[in-house]
Amino acid sequence: MRANIQTYAGTISKLTEILEQTGDQVDPFFQELKKWMQLGQVADLDQAKLAEIKN
């Protein structure tokens, strides 16, 4: 059976959209961690905030 290029392209498009949405959701957490890392103060983050970021 031959793969349908339109089906393949549609699947890739949907996957790309899902990945972009996921990236948009997690980006604020990464930006906050980046800020703390640049300040050299990651150890100062409280456990509740770290748990929130992890989840």
Domains of the chain: total: 1
Give the Cα separation of 7 and 1 in Å (integer): 13
Q: Is the pLDDT of residue 1 over 60?
A: no
The C-alpha atoms of residue 9 and residue 38 are separated, in whole angstroms, by 40
**For residue range 11-47, what is the model confidence (pLDDT) as tens digits?**
999 999 999 999 999 999 999 889 988 998 888 888 8
Structural domain span for residue 13: 5-54
Q: Judge whether residue 4 has pLDDT over 90.
A: no
